[in-house]
Structure 1
Amino acid sequence: MVTPPPLKGRGAADNAASARFDALATQVDGDWLDTRESLDDVAPLRTTVSIEAPRTIITRNTSPDIPFDRSVNAYRGCEHGCIYCFARPTHAYLGLSPGLDFETKLTAKPSAATLLRAELSKRGYTPKPLAMGTNTDPYQPIEAAFRITRALLGVLLEFGHPVTITTKSDRVTADLDLLTQLASQNLVAVAISVTSLDRTIARSIEPRAPTPARRIEAIRQLAAAGVPVFVSVSPVIPAITDHEIEAILEAAAGAGAYAAFTRPVRLPHEVAPLFRAWLDAHYPDRAARVLHLIHSMRDGRDNDPEFGTRMAGKGPYAEMLRRRFAIGCARFGLDKPRLELATDRFRVPSAQLRMW
């Protein structure tokens, strides 16, 4: 099989990983960021956004190795195009490919805030931290136009509901007005993902995400505003980004990060062939070594789906990463205990109060 050449500004090289489910009818209503760069006379691969009208917005999970039991995703797909993204296979549920479709055929949920308000208002609802950014980035480029994440934060502030946010975009600072109000009530924690400080490497693995410098600056702005902010050194890619663990921790600590966490790269389902094609295109000199080290953490496989080990990996290499990370966190003061967000501020506002 001939590996297709990489597409400028995209993570996946093609749609080789075929969709597994029936197609979802879509309504194209916009193009985004496609004139930002010259594509050397190649027709631009346009990004389209479909409107989804779900019946509910809170997703529940009972996974024992995930630190939250509920989440909200404002969008499906993600234009950041991170080649390693474990959420890529979810696009197959729409009848679309986890490859280029995941990056270019996005879905937005404009009714998300209305649905969230209704679900939080239900009799017997018990508040626990709601996670945002667990599947696709809540601050990917289309948030600037749709502002669904901002609307969701407004509802959470109205209800006094705790929320955690994971993103690799400095666009999160556009919502500092809401985040600072949530933080003043111990209702929010933000994690900024930094995989590399090298702009060339970052652009290769996360082609449309903000630069590392902008992410570190976002940490600085959040911390200065009193918003608890973590750095997520995730995922660590063997022989490509693993040498940067300590440097990322130092930069984040210097910017005011509260603490840090990390995960080694995972390659579930269709992510594995996409990642292999990316390796062949961008790092052919070390592709075999990268895969060997990944397999050493996953019992010889591309992915270990078992609870308890899938997030951390196994074996000597995984243990070495854990030790380096722990030593680095201690050195730079990022080994603080987990934050416990408040749940006792939750209240269902009356219709009269909402009018005001």
Structure 2
Amino acid sequence: MKQYTKGRGAQYNSQNRFLANQYGQHHAEGIDEWEEEAIRTFQTTVYPKTLVNKVDSPDVGMAYSANPYQGCEHGCIYCYARNSHQYWGYSAGVDFESKILVKENAPALFKEFINKKNWNADTISLSGNTDCYQPLERKYQLTRQILQIALEQGQPIGIITKNSLIKRDIDILQDMAKKQLCVVYLSINSLTEATRQKLEPRTATSRERLRTLEALNSCGIPTGIMCAPIIPGLTDHEIPAVLQAASDHGARWAGYTIVRLNGEISALFKDWLEKTYPDRAEKILHQIASCHSGQLNNSTFGERMRGAGNIAQIINDNFKLHARKYGLNQEIHTLSKSHFRRSASSDQLQLF
């Protein structure tokens, strides 16, 4: 079995396709091996010009997204956001989960965006790319500041997270919920702790995520789960148990996606599989490919999230059956635009 680094998803730094030169550590002549240093997490403060992005993809379930952080210490090996880390000159591998960019001006950019005169208060999703409640949020509180602005101005917000830190902001979310300004989804694709530790090494446990669902729901905050991504041959058999547990803890809605390994994630995931599940790596890869026309990734709109073929159909039927059985997705939840108000300073500026 190849050496596995605990506590990290990616096991190496893949090549950045935008860089001509690469660097790496190689065995020096005459030295067979050495003890590697533990991978530390570093953060860098950045000041981007924009924060809120329009989402043009028709099958991701959001119109606008905002991400206060780039990179994510949670280290989920399958994360599609890994590829975007390359735009900043980093690797989609270990760099993605150990070199985090903190957008310190995120709250100011958010406020500036929603106060544009042509903004019509469409829902903005937090964590469209990386988790807005990852560990550094405890220190920087960028997400909390954004939520405070959203509450003050009546801006609808959708949240998806794997971190129980969201309970810290129940005071704001509860007030937003009273005005139909928020909905929260917890991402849960497995209840098996051994799987979670390898697949999503620095996230909250599934048990803690269920407790978080319950805490949010008890405060009147509308909640659901994303059973995502489902990995055929590894987590698909847990769909019934995940949906039942989610319903028992207050979730009202559930969605799913089937894993797709686009860009550099394909090589990273293969390497991870060989080190964590060497006995069934080929079987898992084969089943993933069977959902994407024989490839590990399919970018076709309408198919890329749910897959196609026999295995994808079985997953779809199984999910719908148990979602119905446990009373999920019985209603449509809509967020309200009626409370939206531009800030007073913004209104004054429009007079000039």
TM over 0.5: yes
Residue of structure 2 equivalent to 1:205: 199
| 1:99 and 2:93 matched | yes
Q: 2:331 and 2:310 mapped to 1: Cα distance?
A: 26
Residue of structure 1 equivalent to 2:164: 170
How far residue 63 of structure 1 moved from its aligned partner, in angstroms, is 1.6
How far residue 159 of structure 1 moved from its aligned partner, in angstroms, is 1.0
Residue of structure 2 equivalent to 1:290: 284
Q: Specify the code of the residue in structure 2 equivalent to 1:5.
A: Q
Residue of structure 2 equivalent to 1:249: 243
The percentage of counterpart residues that share the same residue type is: 36
DSSP 3-state at the match of 2:215: helix
From 55, 72, 76, the equivalent of 1:78 is: 72
Residue of structure 2 equivalent to 1:13: 11
DSSP 3-state at the match of 1:215: helix
How far residue 352 of structure 1 moved from its aligned partner, in angstroms, is 11
2:174/2:220 contact within 8 Å kept: yes
How far residue 118 of structure 1 moved from its aligned partner, in angstroms, is 1.2
Residue of structure 2 equivalent to 1:261: 255
Q: Specify the code of the residue in structure 2 equivalent to 1:208.
A: R
Residues 92-138 of structure 1, C-alpha deviation per residue, up to 9 Å, x if partnerless? Answer: 10111000000000001111111111111111211100011110000
2:74/2:200 contact within 8 Å kept: yes
Change over 3 Å in CA distance of 1:122–1:273 after alignment to 2: same
How far residue 345 of structure 1 moved from its aligned partner, in angstroms, is 1.3
Residue of structure 2 equivalent to 1:315: 309
Unmatched runs of 5 consecutive residues or more in structure 1 = 24-40
Q: 1:334 and 1:22 mapped to 2: Cα distance?
A: 49
Q: 1:331 and 1:65 mapped to 2: Cα distance?
A: 25
Q: 2:87 and 2:36 mapped to 1: Cα distance?
A: 30
How far residue 22 of structure 1 moved from its aligned partner, in angstroms, is 8.6
Q: 1:61 and 1:137 mapped to 2: Cα distance?
A: 17
How far residue 9 of structure 1 moved from its aligned partner, in angstroms, is 0.6
Q: How does 1:104-253 map to 2 (within 5 A)?
A: 104-253=98-247
How far residue 21 of structure 1 moved from its aligned partner, in angstroms, is 4.5
Residue of structure 2 equivalent to 1:330: 324
Q: Specify the code of the residue in structure 1 equivalent to 2:159.
A: I
CA RMSD of aligned residues (A): 1.8
Q: Give the paired residue count.
A: 335
Q: 2:295 and 2:160 mapped to 1: Cα distance?
A: 28
DSSP 3-state at the match of 1:84: coil
How far residue 212 of structure 1 moved from its aligned partner, in angstroms, is 0.7
Q: Specify the code of the residue in structure 2 equivalent to 1:106.
A: I
Q: How high is the TM-score relative to the length of structure 1?
A: 0.91
Q: How high is the TM-score relative to the length of structure 2?
A: 0.92
Q: Specify the code of the residue in structure 2 equivalent to 1:210.
A: A
Higher mean Cα deviation, 267-276 or 65-74? 65-74
2:115/2:346 contact within 8 Å kept: no
